[in-house]
């Protein structure tokens, strides 16, 4: 069986999850479910990034030990993933013993290369980014991402010779050995490489909440290095699971952390003499009503509120159908209800209700399955299937959904043209053919939506399997 290793970023344990975190995790979940259906041996991992000065500070402000604080946040993530039906195979926390132990081994390996050297760092550090920031990137002295003044830091650190690997990384990106998707994100990385990005320090002297740097315990490992290594530690590097699943087939990330994944991460792997991930898939970020989601602005959308209102499957759909992942997108909260009604209640929900009720009323739920489906339906099915499969293969979930939903509209048109209710009145012998074609199409739709709407799919299957006994309606998506 062919393996498929897929990862999400590990999210900062600095606060509870919002729809941005849910979006990436849902993308990975849908892709994993699709690949499992195709017969792949899937390893889907997600987790939490629990170290670093940002988390240390927040825990301190809340008068909590960092470990106690991150334990609480972990519960929030786990609870949300459970409610959203995220079927991960492994969940990694960077404060776990397994992670810390393996990071130490990896750091020892890194240390034994000529790539690590001591030096003094002097420069600006943004705690929000957990990254150094060059003076030219500041806007009026503020970090452009976090709109905060970075700290001026001067300390002795251990550095990594990134420059040594830039030409190799560039070559691997250009020949698609390391595929960065979409094209504009790939070009962004090539431009950063061209600018001659400096070496980076892989330790911190003043950050206590981190993994001690082996041999130099007055330093902790830089949180990004610690975090990136999760993709290996979760596989129990260098044991069997690692040997089976590494390299990752796709690593899904948001646009703001592209540099870390497409430059720092491959460089560390090259130094460790490990294969590079095959693909980095970079999705755009949500803004809410035109603004960046932020606690200060009070526009953070809590996925639980969406689940309470629409249910888990509908929330999955509403988030994934917002905008093509390749682009940035703006989310308007007021649109969720409209979309729920138009696509789910009046779209897929109504189609299933309509067709299944027709079959129950006309045929007592018994349908002749030997009749070949109508040509119009099979042609539509074939072209939709081809597009759907291609989009799913390219991880273009938004486009795959769009295809399915335009097929649903076509079926509505087909029903309105055929008018099976009149066919029944006039005892038209072609009625059986129309109904069996429609049932055939519904089964195909069920198959396509399964990775997106797993619970509703189960409900549909059970209903159709027992069509003869059905007395109640399917009620797929209740009207609000
Ligand atoms: N801890 C680092 C990642 C380390 S991976 C080795 C981090 N964490 S984070 O909590 O800030 O999560 C960032 C990721 O969450 C983004 O890359 C993206 O996947 C997701 N999103 C966070 N905000 C988002 C939006 N506004 N929109 C869409 N996705 C967003 O960076």
Q: Compute the average pLDDT of residues 328-353.
A: 95
**CA nearest neighbour of 258 among 234, 232, 281, 291:** 281
Q: Check: CB of residue 276 under 8 Å from CB of residue 178.
A: yes
Q: Compute the average pLDDT of residues 90-110.
A: 98
CA of 378 to the centre of ligand 1 (A): 42
Hey, whose CA ends up nearest to atom 21 of ligand 1?
20
Reduced to 3 states (helix: H, G, I; strand: E, B; else coil), residue 116 is strand
Calculate the alpha carbon distances from 237 to 29, 37, 50, 116, 269 in Å.
Answer: 23, 27, 20, 21, 13
- Helix pair angle (431-449, 375-393), 10° resolution: 0
Q: Compute the average pLDDT of residues 255-266.
A: 97
CA of 18 to the centre of ligand 1 (A): 10
Q: Which of 76, 100, 146, 156 is catalytic?
A: 146
Which burial class, exposed, middle or buried, applies to 190 when counting CB atoms under 10 A from its CB (0-12, 13-18, 19+)?
middle
pLDDT surpasses 90 at 460: yes
Tokens 């849910």 found at: 22
Ligand 1 atom, smallest distance to 286 CA = 27
Q: Which of 27, 35, 143, 339 is catalytic?
A: 143
pLDDT surpasses 80 at 467: yes
295 band by pLDDT with thresholds 50, 70 and 90: confident
Residue 110: its pLDDT value, please? Answer: 96
CA of 24 to the centre of ligand 1 (A): 8
**Is the C-beta atom of 28 inside 6 A of ligand 1?**
no
Q: Check: CB of residue 398 under 8 Å from CB of residue 325.
A: yes
Mutate to test the pocket of ligand 1, among 6, 17, 22, 24 (most ligand atoms within 8 A of CB): 24
Ligand 1 atom, smallest distance to 265 CA = 6
Residue 365: its pLDDT value, please? Answer: 67
Instruction: Determine the Cα–Cα distance for residues 306 and 312; give it in Å rounded to an integer.
Output: 8
Q: Compute the average pLDDT of residues 315-340.
A: 92
Q: Which stretch of 236-250, 331-345, 446-460 has the lowest confidence by average pLDDT? A: 331-345
Residue 77: its pLDDT value, please? Answer: 98
Percentage of the residues of the chain whose pLDDT score is greater than 90: 81
**Is the C-beta atom of 121 inside 6 A of ligand 1?**
no
Residue 292 bears catalytic tag: yes
Strands 220-221 and 203-204: what pairing? Answer: antiparallel
Q: Check: CB of residue 343 under 8 Å from CB of residue 470.
A: no
Residue 206: its pLDDT value, please? Answer: 85
**This prediction's pTM:** 0.95
Instruction: Determine the Cα–Cα distance for residues 229 and 146; give it in Å rounded to an integer.
Output: 25
CA of 9 to the centre of ligand 1 (A): 6
Q: Which of 27, 129, 403, 456 is catalytic?
A: 129
Report the range out of 166-170, 356-360, 373-377 with the highest average pLDDT.
Answer: 166-170
365-400: per-residue pLDDT in tens? 677 667 888 999 999 999 999 999 999 999 999 999
296-318: per-residue pLDDT in tens? 778 899 999 999 999 999 999 99
The beta strand positions in 115-150, using DSSP E, are 116-126, 131-133
Q: Compute the average pLDDT of residues 251-260.
A: 97
Q: Compute the average pLDDT of residues 337-347.
A: 97
pLDDT surpasses 90 at 145: no
Mutate to test the pocket of ligand 1, among 21, 48, 127 (most ligand atoms within 8 A of CB): 21
pLDDT surpasses 90 at 123: no
CA of 222 to the centre of ligand 1 (A): 18
Residue 85: its pLDDT value, please? Answer: 98
**Is the C-beta atom of 434 inside 6 A of ligand 1?**
no
Structure tokens at 82: 């459970």
477 band by pLDDT with thresholds 50, 70 and 90: very high
Residue 76: its pLDDT value, please? Answer: 98
Residue 27 bears catalytic tag: no
Q: Compute the average pLDDT of residues 222-239.
A: 98
Ligand 1 atom, smallest distance to 255 CA = 17
Residue 393 bears catalytic tag: no
Structure tokens at 175: 């020949």
Chain mean position to CA 23:
6
Residue 304 bears catalytic tag: no
CA of 69 to the centre of ligand 1 (A): 19
CA of 255 to the centre of ligand 1 (A): 9
Residue 21 bears catalytic tag: yes
197 band by pLDDT with thresholds 50, 70 and 90: very high
pLDDT surpasses 90 at 178: yes
Structure tokens at 348: 């897929």
Hey, whose CA ends up nearest to atom 9 of ligand 1?
11
**Which residue pairs from 189-192 have beta carbons closer than 8 angstroms and sit at least 24 positions apart in sequence?**
189/258, 189/259, 189/262, 189/263, 192/259, 192/263
Tell me phi and psi for residue 34, to 5 degrees. -65, -45
Tell me phi and psi for residue 215, to 5 degrees. 80, -25
268 band by pLDDT with thresholds 50, 70 and 90: very high
Percentage of the residues of the chain whose pLDDT score is greater than 70: 99
422-444: per-residue pLDDT in tens? 998 999 999 999 999 999 999 99
Residue 443: other Cβ atoms inside 10 A: 12
Residue 126 bears catalytic tag: yes
Q: Compute the average pLDDT of residues 411-426.
A: 94
Q: Compute the average pLDDT of residues 40-51.
A: 98
Strands 279-283 and 250-254: what pairing? Answer: parallel
Residue 402: its pLDDT value, please? Answer: 98
pLDDT surpasses 80 at 364: no
């Amino acid at each position: 069986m062919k393996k498929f290793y897929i990862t999400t970023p590990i999210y900062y344990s600095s606060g509870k999850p919002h729809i941005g975190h849910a979006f990436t995790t849902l993308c990975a979940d849908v892709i994993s479910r699709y690949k499992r259906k195709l017969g792949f041996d899937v390893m889907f991992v997600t987790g939490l990034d629990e170290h670093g000065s940002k988390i240390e500070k927040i825990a301190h402000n809340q008068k909590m030990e960092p470990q106690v604080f991150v334990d609480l946040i972990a519960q929030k993530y786990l609870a949300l993933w459970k409610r959203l039906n995220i079927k991960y195979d492994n969940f990694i926390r960077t404060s776990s013993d397994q992670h810390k132990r393996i990071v130490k081994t990896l750091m020892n390996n890194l240390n034994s290369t000529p790539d690590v050297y001591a030096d003094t760092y002097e420069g600006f550090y943004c705690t929000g980014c957990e990254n150094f920031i060059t003076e030219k990137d500041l806007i009026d002295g503020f970090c452009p991402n976090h709109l905060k003044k970075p700290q001026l830091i001067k300390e002795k650190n251990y550095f990594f010779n990134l420059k040594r690997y830039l030409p190799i990384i560039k070559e691997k990106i250009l020949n698609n050995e390391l595929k960065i998707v979409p094209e504009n994100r790939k070009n962004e990385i090539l431009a950063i490489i061209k600018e001659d990005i400096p070496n980076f320090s892989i330790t911190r002297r003043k950050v206590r909440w981190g993994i001690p740097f082996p041999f130099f315990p007055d330093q902790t490992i830089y949180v990004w290095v610690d975090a990136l290594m999760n993709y290996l530690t979760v596989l129990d590097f260098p044991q069997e699971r690692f040997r089976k699943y590494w390299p990752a087939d796709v690593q899904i990330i948001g646009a703001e952390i592209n540099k870390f994944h497409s430059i720092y991460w491959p460089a560390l792997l090259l130094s460790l003499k490990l294969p590079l991930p095959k693909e980095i898939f970079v999705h755009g970020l949500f803004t809410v009503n035109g603004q960046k989601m932020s606690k200060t602005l009070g526009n953070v959308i809590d996925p639980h509120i969406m689940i309470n209102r629409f249910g888990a499957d509908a929330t999955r759909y509403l988030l994934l159908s917002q905008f093509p992942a390749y682009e940035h997108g703006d989310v308007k909260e007021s649109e969720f209800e409209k979309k729920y009604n138009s696509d789910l209640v009046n779209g897929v929900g109504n189609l299933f209700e309509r067709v299944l009720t027709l079959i129950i009323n006309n045929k007592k739920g018994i349908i002749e399955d030997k009749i070949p489906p109508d040509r119009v339906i099979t042609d539509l099915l074939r072209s939709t299937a081809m597009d759907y499969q291609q989009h799913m293969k390219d991880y273009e979930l938004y486009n795959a959904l769009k295809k399915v939903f335009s097929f649903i509209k076509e079926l509505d048109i087909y029903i309105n043209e055929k008018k099976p209710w009149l066919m029944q009145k006039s005892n038209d012998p072609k009625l059986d053919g129309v109904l069996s074609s429609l049932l055939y199409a519904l089964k195909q739709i069920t198959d396509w939506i399964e990775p997106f709407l797993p619970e509703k799919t189960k409900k549909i299957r059970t209903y159709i399997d027992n069509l003869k006994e059905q007395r109640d309606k399917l009620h797929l998506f209740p009207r609000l």
